[in-house]
Amino acid sequence: MIFLLLLLFVQDGYAKFTCKMNLNRNRIVYGCPDIQETLDLVNKFREKHNVLPLEWDTELENGSNEYAKYRGDCAKEHSPDAFNKYSENLYCIGGYPITNASCSTAINVWYSEVSYYDFNNKKPFTTIALKKDVGHFTAMVWKNTKKIGCGARRDNNYPIKVLPGINGFVLSVVCRFYPPGNIASDSAFVENVLPP
């Protein structure tokens, strides 16, 4: 990542510019820089659905960071313990120019799946969850879930394949929820995914 700092000095009536560059090649960064914002956003969405707020869990956070590190550049496989020990949401974004996308970005994207969910449907698991991409949203607002922890891996010097010689970024976010939600039954979805 390149940081460019221009300093303007006025001396003898002339403006002089000093250019200072920091070429940060320590490109891989781990963890969510916006933990409180991420937690607040999840709880804002949960409040819309009349469910209790989640608390941040450092054990889930540490495991999420480790899995984000293991996943590398946006592999899409869930961890082996996903859905048994916890629910797990995965998110990846990348591109150029480098943006400030972070863990809270993933939360907003996952919540947008609410538009595909039909709260009047009495068989939401078999008719919605299996056919539409709503599992990220339902994991976030699942009534019986109590804790969340998120981790991330960000590469700010990622080669963009379609733009040779140009580097952008790639961000991989992992969030885990406990106890796990998305129980595979219609009655569990009706009881735990409440309308706004």
DSSP symbol at 127? I
Calculate the alpha carbon distances from 129 to 139, 151, 188 in Å.
11, 25, 12
- Peptide bond connecting 124 to the previous residue in cis, omega within 30 degrees of 0: no
- Peptide bond connecting 53 to the previous residue in cis, omega within 30 degrees of 0: no
193, 120 Cβ separation under 8 angstroms: no
Q: Taking the alpha carbons of 159, 26, 107, 98 in that order, is the dihedral positive or negative?
A: negative
Given this model, what pLDDT does residue 128 score?
87
Given this model, what pLDDT does residue 166 score?
84
DSSP symbol at 83? T
| Average pLDDT, consecutive stretches of 10 residues, N- to C-terminus, the chain (196 residues) | 28 30 56 96 98 98 94 80 91 85 95 96 90 93 98 87 82 96 95 97
Sequence-distant (6+) residues with CB within 8 A of 170 are 73, 74, 92, 93, 94, 154, 155, 158
Token representation of residue 42: 């999840």
Token representation of residue 104: 């809270």
